[in-house]
Structure 1
Amino acid sequence: MSIDPETLRQRLLEAAMQGISPGQVFKELGITPDNPRALEELMKQAGFDPSSFFPDGQVDMPGMINNLTKDLSPEVKQQLSQVIQGMAYELNNGQPLPPDVEEFLKGWGKGN
Structure 2
Amino acid sequence: MTEEVELPPQLQEQLGRLQQLQQTLQAVITQKQQLEIEASETDKAISELDKVTDQTSVYKSVGSLLIKSDRQTLLTELKERKELLGTRITVLGRQEERTKERIKELQEKLQEKLRPTSSAS
Which protein is richer in strand relative to its size?
2
* Higher Rg of the two aligned structures: 2
Which protein is richer in helix relative to its size?
2
Q: Tell me whether the two structures share a fold, i.e. TM-score over 0.5.
A: no
Q: TM-score, normalised by structure 1?
A: 0.24
Q: TM-score, normalised by structure 2?
A: 0.23
